[in-house]
Amino acid sequence: MHIPTKKLLTMILLATFLVVPFQNCGNQFVLREENGLHLMSKGCDAEIFSIFENGFYPFLRQNCSKCHIDGGGGTGFFASPSVIEAWKYFYSDVSKIARNAVNDEHNPPYTGSKHQAVINQLLSSWNKAYQTKKECEIASNPNLDPLQRPFKLVDKQITAMPNSNTFTRISWSLYDEAARDDQKNLVPVTFDIEYRVVTPANQPTRLEFQNPRITVHAGEVELTDLRLLLNGMVLTDVTRYTQIKATFNSATPTPFTPAPNLTFALTPNLTVPFSLAVEFGRVRPNFSSITPPPQPGMPNTPTPQPSLPMRVTYNDLMGNNPALNVFRASCVSCHNQNRADGRLNLEDFARTQLLANTILSRMRNFANPMPRGGLLPADRVNLVQIWVQNGAPRD
């Protein structure tokens, strides 16, 4: 085909004209957004981001963009024309945004109960995607300390509709009833909470909770962010317990919240059987003060506690005195010249001294103990602590 030169020139000019301004005008922004989108559409965020982009985001753009954009006056730019900016605001505040969306008092007609059905549906997909994201993150990071992860307890089936006048108490052992296998047998704590199901006149059915409590059977534990789950999904409107961080050490049931008041979630179509579960954001046990239970076959009599020396040396820990030789008795079988598990050879003083803090921390780490079979009694660990405090001397 023959194209006249003049026509070709016009075509090229036109093309340049079209392309150049397109590349220059606002390209910074488009590129940034594309990078962000690219990141979001990969990895563990892909599904949850797509729920936002194709579900919540169009809803928020339509109903909230009058105010919830830069310069619009509303708190949080979750309706921003930039989906990435909107996502950042949205992700950190999902429950609050969902609650305001159905709030008849916030800014009707933009907000109100007419949105309830849509929001319920969006939240339900959101919760599923959130679980998937968490599982994906865990799967892609298998070496994470199990106690660095959220701590979920098993689902408990409720087969008969609970009494609406009185509360029923339900409890979980964090020791035996962790949902994840690698979080079992780590935290000697019991959690319990009261619940009931009520349907006030002309109002939807609600699941009410009150009086969550913690019982610590050994040592102490720091707990953060309690979430309640119905049928495997987080009840996002129960936020009373979610911003809590507290340390517990009492062997008698202690309130989890400063004010153990009632809190509830609207659950209009609740039918039996349903399941309840709880999840903590973090569980951090501290066992430095406990001694493990006696080994099977050992006489169950308390051994008298020898008084601790003021000074402990590497030669003591590696020597022949059974009152002091913690390394020799409990570690050297795996950490020696010929077999240096974890590349730690305790027969090499310089190396051992260098790793003194790591050694002590592994000897206190209930979740990742050394020796691997379980922590040594506190008085043995204390000898190593004194050695470290002395500056890890050779003799």
3-state secondary structure of 87: helix
- C-alpha 336/C-alpha 3 separation (Å) is 83
Q: Looking at residues 280 to 299 of the shown chain, list those that interact with ligand HEC (rule: CB under 6 A).
A: none
Instruction: Between 205 and 239, name the residue whose CB sits nearer to ligand HEC.
Output: 239
Residue 356, Cβ density class (10 Å: 0-12 exposed, 13-18 middle, ≥19 buried):
middle
- C-alpha 150/C-alpha 278 separation (Å) is 11
Q: By the 8 A CB rule, do 249 and 241 touch?
A: no
Instruction: Between 110 and 175, name the residue whose CB sits nearer to ligand HEC.
Output: 110
Q: Which of 100, 183, 263, 352 forms a contact with ligand HEC (CB under 6 A)?
A: 100
What is the nearest approach in angstroms of ligand HEC to the Cβ of residue 89? 9
Q: Looking at residues 111 to 140 of the shown chain, list those that interact with ligand HEC (rule: CB under 6 A).
A: 111
Per DSSP, the residues of 130-162 read: HHHHHHHHHHT-TTS-GGGS-EEBPPEEE-SPP
The size of the interface with ligand HEC (CB under 6 A), counted in residues, is 35
> Within 92-235, where are the H helices?
94-101, 116-139
Of the candidate spans 19-27, 107-115, 166-174, 309-317, the one that interacts with ligand HEC by CB under 6 A turns out to be: 107-115
Q: Looking at residues 72 to 91 of the shown chain, list those that interact with ligand HEC (rule: CB under 6 A).
A: 73-76
Instruction: Between 207 and 332, name the residue whose CB sits nearer to ligand HEC.
Output: 332
What is the nearest approach in angstroms of ligand HEC to the Cβ of residue 275? 29
- C-alpha 308/C-alpha 326 separation (Å) is 13
Instruction: Between 275 and 330, name the residue whose CB sits nearer to ligand HEC.
Output: 330
Q: How many angstroms separate the Cα of 100 from the Cα of each of 19, 54, 75, 106, 268?
A: 44, 20, 11, 6, 19
| Residue listed under structure tokens 């016009």 | 10
> Within the chain, where are the H helices?
5-24, 27-40, 46-51, 57-64, 83-91, 94-101, 116-139, 314-318, 326-330, 349-354, 356-364, 378-389
Instruction: Between 63 and 80, name the residue whose CB sits nearer to ligand HEC.
Output: 63
Instruction: Between 206 and 362, name the residue whose CB sits nearer to ligand HEC.
Output: 362
Instruction: Between 273 and 342, name the residue whose CB sits nearer to ligand HEC.
Output: 342
Q: Which of 341, 374, 389, 394 forms a contact with ligand HEC (CB under 6 A)?
A: 341
Q: Which of 88, 96, 184, 217 forms a contact with ligand HEC (CB under 6 A)?
A: 96
Instruction: Between 230 and 355, name the residue whose CB sits nearer to ligand HEC.
Output: 355
Instruction: Between 152 and 335, name the residue whose CB sits nearer to ligand HEC.
Output: 335
Q: Are strands 168-173 and 156-158 parallel, antiparallel or unpaired?
A: unpaired
Of 227, 219, 149, residue with least CA distance to 375? 219
Of 188, 179, 287, 163, residue with least CA distance to 229? 179
Q: Looking at residues 350 to 379 of the shown chain, list those that interact with ligand HEC (rule: CB under 6 A).
A: 355, 358-359, 362-363, 370-372, 376
Q: Looking at residues 321 to 340 of the shown chain, list those that interact with ligand HEC (rule: CB under 6 A).
A: 330-331, 333-335
Instruction: Between 111 and 183, name the residue whose CB sits nearer to ligand HEC.
Output: 111
What is the nearest approach in angstroms of ligand HEC to the Cβ of residue 264? 19
What is the nearest approach in angstroms of ligand HEC to the Cβ of residue 226? 21
Close Cβ partners of 157 (under 8 Å, ≥ 6 residues apart): 273, 274, 275
Of the candidate spans 96-104, 243-251, 255-263, 300-308, the one that interacts with ligand HEC by CB under 6 A turns out to be: 96-104
What is the nearest approach in angstroms of ligand HEC to the Cβ of residue 290? 17
Q: Looking at residues 42 to 71 of the shown chain, list those that interact with ligand HEC (rule: CB under 6 A).
A: 63-64, 66-68
Q: Are strands 254-255 and 220-230 parallel, antiparallel or unpaired?
A: unpaired
Residue count (the chain)? 395
- The residue ranges that bind ligand HEC (CB under 6 A) are 63-64, 66-68, 73-76, 96-97, 100-101, 106-107, 110-111, 330-331, 333-335, 341-344, 355, 358-359, 362-363, 370-372, 376
